[in-house]
Amino acid sequence: MATDSWARAVDEQEAAADSISTLQIREKEDKAKPEENGTVKADVQGDGQVAKTEEEDKEDKAAQSLLNKLIRNNLVNTNNQVEVLQRDPNSPLYSVKSFEELRLKPQLLQGVYAMGFNRPSKIQENALPMMLAEPPQNLIAQSQSGTGKTAAFVLAMLSRVDPANKWPQALCVSPTYELALQTGKVIEQMGKFYPEVKLIYGIRGNKLDRGMKIQEQIVIGTPGTILDWCLKFKFIDPKKIKVFVLDEADVMIATQGHQDQSIRIQRMLPQNCQMLLFSATFEESVWNFAKRIVPDPNIIKLKREEETLDTIKQYYVSCCSKEEKFQALCNIYGAITIAQAMIFCHTRKTAGWLAGELSREGHQVALLSGEMAVEQRAAVIDRFRDGKEKVLVTTNVCARGIDVEQVSVVINFDLPVDKDGNPDNETYLHRIGRTGRFGKRGLAINMVDSKSSMNILNRIQEHFKKKIEKLDTDDLDEIEKIAN
Ligand SMILES: Nc1ncnc2c1ncn2[C@@H]1O[C@H](COP(=O)(O)OP(=O)(O)OP(=O)(O)O)[C@@H](O)[C@H]1O
């Protein structure tokens, strides 16, 4: 499967993009706004199926990653310890608590401070000294989105290149055109006071004249184009590359074609080229790929913040149909004050229907749906985060990995199940776990509408060994109690 349809879709999308000039990437002035400012449009297209093909799953991964970047404007809080495995366990382990200790070029330090960074993030404390060490060291780093990986490798690339040399010295590959643009923006921001260093986007839409040689010091793009630029068109001399960055390895490996292309690029680089690989997750497949790309690596891992149900009160409501579930929801809303709620549905169709009904009841509802572009989704989430809408109705796929901290109530309008119809405990935890964060108590309400969904609920209960209490939504006094 050298070129799957997703990779082709990316290529086509790239081909359609405007030609992009160095460091003058067009701002997304077309930043799409959601329908009616994120408020609900009840008629949802599609058949409402959530069963995903493998292709769609791959696309989801890239979209999810982009969404996270778009909605994130600061570091993720983490109390977990960084785990460091050094290539040479006898060499001292350096970690820094300030950017000054890194002896950065003054222009770069200025850029870092202008971005509002006061001190290195948890992962940067260890990663930056390794990435900037002489002689250069290879690194594989894994930590969840928003922990400062991009900022770290951008700083390394900007530090390593010599602006006096008019050829590419740093190469960064990203899984999609959009992800490459996001990283490019960080390079532009951080390199703001170092204008001698230039950047070029190695993406399909950027057509260069045959025979030319790229003069920019940093190239960022997708694996297919970068490979062509090195191998076929010889715009880049790979032997002169000093730093090679492979970003979002977990997304990259979802496409066999991208995996192969990345390995082929890596094989053209000189022995002493510094190889850096980043990933948000680290399953076996990512690890196997990482080892092929990065010889003799140092390894840094930062565990995800554990999600827990300990601080969550869980209830279930027994109904017979979706209409009854909606009525139960109205009763709950009538009895307790809910600052902000997220409601999860199994299909787009249900999500659209429910959002429409709630909106008719006078609620300020936002709908996050699969057919929205990533920018639209980011805008909806932003508005919800700002409190402009109080209810966010969504399907699971759209909401994966989103942190909306002020959510006080999570409602499973449909219980999470996997494609075989078994309880999806991980998704349950992930959905619910977000309500009781940062010492706050959360409330989770599950809607059950059949024998089989009751069975799912029981299995979830057993899995977590936590009781899910029954709630009678016809009894207002009882509902009021759950809010205390
Ligand atoms: N040392 C720092 N101090 C303050 N903010 C930082 C620091 N490093 C990064 N940030 C900011 O935190 C956010 C997340 O950082 P970054 O994008 O580098 O993380 P990431 O792990 O690469 O996540 P993603 O893969 O989602 O981009 C960004 O808004 C970035 O500007």
Q: What is the tens place of the pLDDT at every residue in 198-224?
A: 999 999 889 999 999 999 999 999 999
Instruction: Calculate mean pLDDT across residues 360-364.
Output: 91
**Per mean pLDDT, which of 75-84, 258-267, 427-436 is the most reliable?**
258-267
pLDDT score of 59:
64
Instruction: Calculate mean pLDDT across residues 241-246.
Output: 98
How far is ligand 1, taken at its centre, from the CA of residue 257, in Å? 28
Contact 311, 361 (CB under 8 A): no
How far is ligand 1, taken at its centre, from the CA of residue 117, in Å? 9
ipTM above 0.90 for this complex:
yes
Higher pLDDT, 89 or 270: 270
Q: Is 340 helix (H, G, I), strand (E, B) or coil?
A: coil
Q: Per residue in 439-473, pLDDT tens?
A: 566 889 999 999 999 999 999 999 999 999 999 88
Is it the case that residue 62 has pLDDT exceeding 90? no
Helix axes 177-190, 106-114, angle to 10 degrees: 110
pLDDT score of 72:
72
How far is ligand 1, taken at its centre, from the CA of residue 292, in Å? 27
Contact 416, 428 (CB under 8 A): yes
| CA atoms of 159 and 157, how far apart (whole Å) | 5
Instruction: Calculate mean pLDDT across residues 287-311.
Output: 86
| CA atoms of 414 and 291, how far apart (whole Å) | 41
Give the mutation target among 75, 144, 403 for probing the ligand 1 site: most ligand atoms within 8 A of CB: 75
Q: Per residue in 123-147, pLDDT tens?
A: 999 999 999 999 999 999 999 888 9
| CA atoms of 473 and 482, how far apart (whole Å) | 11
Instruction: Calculate mean pLDDT across residues 358-366.
Output: 92
Contact 268, 196 (CB under 8 A): no
pLDDT score of 148:
93
Q: CB under 8 Å to 28, separation ≥6 — which residues?
A: 375
Higher pLDDT, 145 or 160: 160
**Per mean pLDDT, which of 67-71, 355-359, 394-398 is the most reliable?**
355-359
Q: Do you find a cis peptide bond into 195, omega within 30 degrees of 0? A: no
Task: Tell how far CA 388 is from the center of its chain.
Answer: 23
